[in-house]
């Protein structure tokens, strides 16, 4: 018995979505057609009263999947607008085709480099095949929500912390592809997945802040050292130019005096040439 159940499940997994629907929309059989005919005759005989039980209306954004004696009557859902059912043998399920969004609850995930992070997101999906969403899964909305949580864990478990923080768009695209492929048999189309927030432990935040501050200080020291080196090169070139022309030093003295005088201070600087001082020192 277990062997037959396993073979049946493998057979169903190998069948496409259209094949599964075709299997469910099989013939009603002689007894079934007899019941349908009797229901139709009763409806016709009580026509003024049964009209209110036969006519149904669905909105523009809805579709109706009709079951006749437990079997799906057509491969295509009914609607929008008015459609007809038999009151005794038919039942129908309304399916909303509008896009639905839901938040993925925060998930504590261990990344590839053994760092625990808390990640949440949002998923947008809609029903693309009403019949498959009713016939292939008991609750398509709830199943998609659970699958989104497990998919988020599986995808982020293969990423490093740096990839989780920097490559959110790639992670969202990978999640969307995985969810869309998994929910295709349920008649669900995943339109968009977004990663909302990535929460790191407090100690890790402090460590990353200290690391970033140390990196900034190191860069500042390197820039200051490069500035000192460039300034020393410029002073060396200036000294070579002044050495070639002694009058350039006198012009530099006058320029310095002009700069000091423009500041309107009480300090007076009188430059004295070193040649004059050396003459007195020799005596």
Helix (H, G, I), strand (E, B) or coil at 158: coil
- Reference 100, options 123, 79, 121; nearest CA is 123
pTM (predicted TM-score): 0.65
Identify the CATH number of the domain defined by range 99-200. Answer: 3.30.479.30
- Reference 197, options 113, 100, 107; nearest CA is 107
Determine how many CB atoms are found less than 10 A away from the CB of residue 73: 18
Q: How confident is the model at residue 96 (pLDDT cuts 50, 70, 90)?
A: very high
pLDDT tens column, 42-92: 877 878 777 878 888 899 999 999 888 888 887 788 888 888 888 888 889
Helices (H), the chain: 2-14, 17-24, 29-45, 47-54, 130-135, 140-156, 161-166, 168-182, 202-244, 247-261, 274-282
CA distance 283 to 278: 9
Residue 5 reports pLDDT greater than 60: no
Who has greater pLDDT, 102 or 76? 102
Residue 241 reports pLDDT greater than 80: no
pLDDT tens column, 153-182: 999 888 888 888 888 888 999 999 999 999
Domain ranges in the chain are: 1-96, 99-200, 206-281
Strand-pair partners of 197: 120
Bridge-based pairing of strands 116-127 and 188-199 is antiparallel
Average pLDDT of the chain to the nearest whole number: 80
DSSP string, 97-138: -S-EEEEEEEEEEE-TTS-EEEEEEEEEEEES-HHHHHHS-S
Whose tokens are 């201070």? That residue is: 265
How confident is the model at residue 113, as a pLDDT? 84
For residue 218, CA distances in Å to 39, 227, 232 come to 87, 14, 21
Angle between helices 168-182 and 140-156 (to 10 degrees): 140
CA distance 144 to 126: 10
Contact present, 64 and 92 (Cβ < 8 Å): yes
CA distance 8 to 15: 11
CA distance 183 to 133: 9
């Amino acid at each position: 018995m277990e062997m037959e159940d396993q073979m049946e499940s493998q057979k169903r997994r190998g069948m496409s979505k259209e094949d599964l629907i075709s299997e469910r929309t099989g013939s009603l059989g002689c007894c079934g057609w007899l019941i349908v005919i009797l229901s139709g005759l009763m409806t016709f005989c009580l026509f003024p009263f049964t009209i209110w039980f036969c006519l149904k209306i669905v909105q523009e954004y809805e579709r109706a999947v009709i079951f006749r004696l437990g079997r799906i009557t057509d491969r295509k859902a009914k609607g929008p607008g008015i459609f007809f059912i038999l009151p005794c043998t038919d039942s129908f399920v309304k399916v909303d085709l509008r896009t639905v969004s839901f938040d993925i609850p925060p998930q504590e995930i261990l990344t590839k480099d053994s760092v625990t992070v808390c990640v949440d997101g949002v998923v947008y999906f809609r029903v693309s095949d009403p019949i498959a969403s009713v016939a292939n899964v008991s609750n398509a909305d709830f199943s998609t929500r659970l699958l989104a949580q497990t998919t988020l864990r599986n995808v982020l478990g293969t990423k490093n912390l740096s990839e989780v923080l920097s490559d959110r768009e790639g992670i969202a695209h990978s999640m969307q592809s995985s969810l869309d492929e998994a929910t295709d048999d349920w008649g669900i189309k995943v339109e968009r997945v977004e990663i909302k927030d990535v929460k790191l432990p407090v100690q890790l935040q402090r460590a990353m802040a200290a690391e970033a501050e140390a990196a900034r200080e190191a860069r500042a020291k390197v820039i200051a050292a490069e500035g000192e080196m460039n300034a020393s090169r410029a002073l060396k070139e200036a000294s070579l130019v002044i050495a070639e022309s002694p009058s350039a030093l006198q012009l530099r003295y006058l320029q310095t005096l002009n700069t000091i005088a423009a500041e309107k201070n009480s300090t007076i600087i009188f430059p004295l040439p070193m040649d004059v001082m050396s003459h007195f020192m020799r005596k």
